[in-house]
Amino acid sequence: MSVVEKSQPNFASDQEVRWCPGCGDFAILSQMKKIMPTLGVKPENVAFVSGIGCSSRFPYYLETYGMHGIHGRAPAIATGLKRMRPDLQVWVVTGDGDALSIGCTHLLHALRRNVDIKILLFNNRIYGLTKGQFSPTTPPGLVTSSTPGGTAHEPLHPLSIALASNATFVARSVDTNARHLGDVLRRAAAHRGAAFVEIYQNCHIFNDGAFDHAKDAAVREDHTVELVHGQPLVFGKERNKGIRLVGTDLEVVELDNGRSAGDLLVHDEASQTSAIAQMLAGMEHPRMPEVLGVLRDIDLPTHNDLMPDDTVSVAARADKINQLLETGETWTVGG
Amino acid sequence: MTFVVVESCIKCKHTDCVAVCPVDCFYEGENMLVIHPDECIDCGVCEPECPVDAIRADTEPGLEKWLELNAELAGVWPVITEQKDPPSDAHLWKDTENKFELLSRNPGDG
Amino acid sequence: MNECQQVEPVVRGSAQNAHSVVVRFAGDSGDGMQVAGSQVAVTSALMGNDIATFPDFPAEIRAPKGTPAGVSGFQVHFASSDVLTPGDQVDVLVAMNPAALKVNLDAVKPHGTIIVDVDAFDRKGLRLAKYENNPIEDGSLGEYQVVEAPITSQTRAAVAEAGVGHKIATRCRNFFAMGIVYWLYGRDLDATIRFIDTRFSEEVAQADKLALTSGWNFGETTEAFERSYVVPPAKPKPGTYRNVTGNEALAFGLVTAAYLSGKELFYSAYPITPASDILHKLSRFSECGVRTFQAEDEIAAICSAIGASFGGALGVTGSSGPGIALKTEALGYAVMLELPLVVINVQRGGPSTGLPTKVEQADLFQAVMGRNGEAPMPVLAASGPSDCFETVIEAWRIATKLMTPVMVLSDAFTANGAEPWNYPDIRTLEPISIDHPKAMTHGEPFMPYERDEWLARPWALPGTEGLTHRIGGIEKQNGSGAISYDPQNHETMVNLRAQKVKNARDLMTSLEMEGERSGELLIVSWGGMRGTCREAVKRARGEGKSVSHIHLRHLNPFPKDLGDLLRDFKQVIVAELNSGQLLQLLRAEYLVDASGLNKVRGQPFRIDDIAAQIDTSLEEKN
């Protein structure tokens, strides 16, 4: 097999993978196993932390350190781990229910603190492990096990939430788009600070085809725009369509209709304000094509950078602690 | 790990596997399909679909030859992304053994 | 540092010796009563008295001024012998307004002294306190010695020369009131003057000092007091002392535990009364290897601490009952992971929000049993402010030895109360040794749930080659740590986790006892009620009564010799500030016919409560 060179460490664990055959999770795991050996980090210096849900079984399948957490809490667990072990590369694997419903608070705060962790949100727009209830990203109208008349409410948009939390790296990819996913995961790994990646992931048992517009080779180029830093937003099978900023809105324009690429919005992932990125995140199928790639990548101090780091050596600590005890009024009683 | 297509596929080529593969990693020859080992994600969804039991995990012993063949032919054959009808005589070849010499290296239609 | 022998008690001509004095300052929550009380405590300790304090404040930061809801109190007990409690009843009540008088009058001893700020007993003050008649004038205080001090007006007059504004001048009233008390009990002013100088701006400091001396002069010149008193020094064990509250001692204990084990401390918490002071204190200790984290909620607080422990740190989270309730799922997770973790619960009145600033010991069931599934963990309770230091170090010792979360219980009374502490040189304390498994470079399989002689699993640190492994909340195969749904394995693991916690008994010292190890009556107490029960039993024994006392630090598992001890007494009374939680646990565990002495009023036991129970129990027997 050509996947892993002999000299590179193998990141596959010996655990039997227990997702449903055909699950998009396999595709993501497969990409992760491919990119990990190329990152120049040893397996023992990597930790995967997850919550609860199908996606959260991920850590068991990689030969690194790992914590399968409790529902929604992976970002909090990872925050404590990274705070005390800045030397580790820490990944969080979570799902739409885990990250945006029961654990939404932790996601927001890990991002706002810019904890140097990589958060992968596998979005399948459904609760899989509990058998098909609607999730916070389920589109309205979808019939699920708990909504026989169709889901009522508008969904949350993971990218918008990440941007609103001032995440310093925000990206989206697709489980089965191996090349694209591999590139995005490598970019996330290289980012210093909190990286947030939404991955469209097909649950073919409870919500099959949720992302066909972005996955199906026949149509995906017409329904998605791959973002490239510094390049105009061009898309379409014929590369003949683009995205233009008009007033305070975005619109699709036909390039062969008298428009040139010069009229189009040029992607700037390093923009300090997330306003345009929010507009890109708000592009939704079928009204608009959906964006794939890195929406935002900026450099800000990480959580660890911002916290005090003046600890003296263990040997020198005894005197410091004794001094603390002696602070304030003390008195001696003679023998 | 990957899944591989083995001898039973030759001259049967049912393509039920193609309908379920989430990553489109099947490649078509004139009378057989193969799996691209670098594209397969090991999800296993295709394995039970095959009417002639031609798909195996590469962890089974003795498949080295087939793994090499899958890798080689996937590089030259076209990808197949939609199911099609099997050859009209597929049922006649179902239980035939030692079909290796019948393998055509010609590409399929994709 | 001061040599207490050098501080001479200030003696007036008519001064008389007093053995033990309890003073309570009471006023609005913005009146500086906590400062006044704690300064009397520090001064008394520096003069060689033993002391205990009891702050009692409302849950509201600034309740409506002048009303009973807003009354804040600080009680200090100083004496020339061992002080075990802040005192049942007060000798002197300083009431800064009518509401403070109304709320605290019941606490004053018959014939005790009440110092009132008469300026505050105007129509408005009386109306706010809902007094129909002025209690100073209507004869209702006839049995007390009432000292009418114009504290507000005299303070304003006294601080005029400092040139501070009206508002600041009024804020100096607490120092005037302190001055009176300092004169009455011959307290030395130096420590308080040092405190004022370091704490306030020059201008305010001058005003405070003027108020303090004016109060003193008021005591000396007015004829309201029959005499002043001298409280000679106690004779404590030789050593160096400081005052410490329970929350301070927890912070000191944690930073010391980290040092003793060569670890960094990760303390994670969400703000909650009465535990927040631990976070405040530790956030100033970063030099000593402390990383604090104010988390977004209680769940994140414990989860981040678990993450820190996985990384090899001393992971600690602290809260109070409602916060512990939120952490419950994660506590079970920590039990399953078998990682060391210290969880502190500074108990308050419950259920729900309950009485946020008041004491209760009603979270014992929660600590011992409050998790889904079979999820035992060791539970320790501190017996008083300074004992918090040793308790939390022991908790970390047990947590690392057995690879388990450990719960430490304190309470609002212990957390905020202060007492003198003969603090150690931490270099003399026994180190906590931890063996992390070493790298394995030959590809042999690592067994993350292999057990040692204590049944503890190895604490393998990320970054160690060859030890990569995954842990999680799903049941694990004993030994390999692989996910396992095997029925027999689950039962084995449940039993192993339970037995491991029981093994904590072999790490405990034997029970400390007051009185004989068998006899007529045994009083059992736990947590912050040690001093009260010990004092009551000592007094009863002094009167020739057959009563003994044991105090439990270990609530799960119980000490080895406890069962035999309980069975060797004809009567066992379990005294606790709840409806009988330890009582039920002891009855269930040992089948002993124990009874309870219970109080759930948000207030600690008084020595008299215990003494009365001792008398009742001994009478019933006759």
Instruction: Dump pLDDT digits (tens) for C67-77.
Output: 999 999 999 99
Domain identity same for C131 and C268: no
Q: Is residue C503 part of a domain?
A: no
Per-residue pLDDT, averaged over C515-519, amounts to 95
> Which among A139, A112, A116, A114 has a CA at the least distance from the CA of A126?
A139
B49 belongs to a structural domain:
yes
> Residue A139 half-sphere exposure, CB side, CA atoms within 13 Å?
9
DSSP code, position C506: G
Q: How far is B109 from chain A (nearest CA, A)?
A: 17
Residue C531 φ/ψ region, left for φ over 0, alpha for ψ in the -120 to 50 degree band, beta for the rest = alpha
Q: C138: burial class by Cβ within 10 Å (0-12, 13-18, 19+)?
A: exposed
* Residue-level pLDDT at A6: 43
CATH architecture classification, A24-210+301-306 = 3-Layer(aba) Sandwich (3.40)
What is the per-residue pLDDT for C5? Answer: 39
Q: Are residues C203 and C295 both part of a single domain?
A: no
Q: Could you tell me the strand order of the sheet in which A234-235 lies?
A: A234-235, A241-246, A249-254
Query: What does the pLDDT average to over C506-513?
Result: 86
Average pLDDT of the segment spanning C167-180: 95
In this predicted structure, what is the pLDDT of residue C224? 82
* Per-residue model confidence as pLDDT tens digits over C338-357: 999 999 999 999 999 999 99
- Any chain C CB within 8 A of the CB of A67? yes
Q: Which of residues 188-207 of A touch B (CB under 8 A)?
A: 202, 204
**Residue C444 within any structural domain of the chain:** no
Pairing relation of β-strands B26-28 and B33-35?
Answer: antiparallel
List of chain A residues whose C-beta atoms are within 8 Å of the C-beta of residue C470? 13, 15, 59-60, 65-68
| Range list of H helices, C185-297 | 190-199, 202-221, 246-260, 276-282
Domain count, chain B: 1
Report the percent of chain A where pLDDT is more than 70: 97
Residue B11 within a domain: yes
A chain contacts of residue B47, beta-carbon cutoff 8 Å? 21
Chains in contact with C, where contact means 3 or more Cβ–Cβ distances below 8 Å, are A
Whether the predicted pLDDT of C4 surpasses 70? no
Does C13 share its domain with C66?
A: yes
Verify C-B touch: 3 or more CB pairs within 8 A: no
3-class DSSP state of A214: helix
Contact A202 B42 (CB under 8 A): no
Q: What is the CATH number of the domain that holds C535?
A: 3.40.50.920
Average pLDDT, chain C: 94
A8 touches chain C (CB under 8 A): no
Substitution target from B4, B16, B43, B80 for chain A, most A beta carbons within 10 A: B43
Q: Which domain holds residue C393?
A: 242-428
Q: How many Å lie between the alpha carbon of A28 and the closest alpha carbon of chain C?
A: 19
Cis amide prior to A286 (ω within 30 degrees): yes
**Residue B93, in any domain of the structure:** no
pLDDT tens track for A243-281:
999 999 999 999 987 778 788 999 999 999 999 999 999
- C312 and C170 together in one domain: no
| Residue C451 CB coordination number (10 Å) | 16
Burial pattern B78-105, b for ≥16 Cβ within 10 A else e, equals eebbeeeebeeebeebeeeeebeeebee
- Residue B24 to residue A175, Cβ atoms within 8 A: no
Average pLDDT, integer, range C351-371: 96
Find chain C residues with C-beta within 8 A of A42's C-beta: 465
- Tell me: pLDDT of B53 over 80: yes
Write out the two tokens for A197: 């990646």
Q: The CATH number of the domain where B48 resides is what?
A: 3.30.70.20
Judged by a CB distance cut-off of 8 A, whether residue B49 touches chain A is no
Number of domains comprising chain C: 3
- pLDDT tier, A8 (very low <50, low <70, confident <90, very high otherwise): low
Are B45 and A22 an interchain contact pair (Cβ–Cβ within 8 Å)? yes
CB distance from B64 to chain A under 8 Å? no
Beta bridge partners of C229: C16
Which helix (H) or strand (E) segment is A226 a member of?
Answer: strand A224-226
- What is the pLDDT at residue C144? 95
Token pair 């009564």: residue: C545
Checking ipTM against 0.85, whether it exceeds it is yes
Beta bridge partners of A224: A290
Q: Do A30 and B42 touch (CB under 8 A)?
A: yes
Domain assignments of chain A as residue spans, ordered by start: 24-210+301-306
Per-residue tokens: C417? 């109360």
Q: Where are the alpha helices (H) located in chain A, listed in sequence order?
A: 24-35, 74-84, 96-97, 104-112, 158-164, 178-190, 212-215, 220-223, 275-281, 303-306, 314-326
Quote the CA–CA distance of C145 and C142 in Å, as a whole number. Answer: 8
Backbone angles phi, psi at C544, to 5 degrees: 85, 15
Distance from CA of A177 to the nearest CA of B (A): 8
- Please write the tens of the pLDDT for every residue from B54-64: 999 998 999 99
Its domain, for residue B54, covers 3-80
CA A196 to chain C, closest CA, distance in angstroms equals 19
In this complex, does chain B touch chain A, defined as having at least 3 beta-carbon pairs under 8 Å apart?
Answer: yes
Distance from CA of A176 to the nearest CA of B (A): 5
- Residue C7 is predicted with a pLDDT of 41
- Which residues is C94 bridged to in the sheet? C25, C115
Q: Return the pLDDT at C226.
A: 81
Q: Max CA-CA distance within chain A? A: 99
Both C258 and C372 in one domain: the answer is: yes
A87 phi, psi to nearest 5 deg: -75, -15
Has residue A54 got a pLDDT over 60?
Answer: yes
Instruction: Please report the pLDDT score of residue C29 as a whole number.
Output: 85
Q: Identify the CATH number of the domain in which residue C286 sits.
A: 3.40.50.970
Query: Tens of pLDDT along A125-168?
Result: 999 999 999 999 999 999 999 999 999 999 999 999 999 999 99
* B62 contact A CB<8A: no
pLDDT band at C622 (very low <50, low <70, confident <90, very high): low
Helix, coil or strand: residue A160: helix
In a domain, C11, yes or no: yes
Whether C500 is in a domain gets the answer: no
The pLDDT confidence band at residue A197, using thresholds 50, 70 and 90, is: very high
Place of tokens 């809105």: A249
B85, part of any domain: no
Task: State the pLDDT confidence band at A335, using cuts at 50, 70 and 90.
Answer: low
Q: Is the pLDDT of residue C257 over 70?
A: yes
DSSP chain B: --EEE-GGGTTT---HHHHH-TT--EEEBSS-EEE-TTT-----SSGGG-TT--EEETTSTT-HHHHHHHHHHHTTSPB--S--PPPTTHHHHTT----GGG---SB---
Q: What is the mean pLDDT of residues A306-313?
A: 91
Q: Is the pTM of this model over 0.90?
A: yes
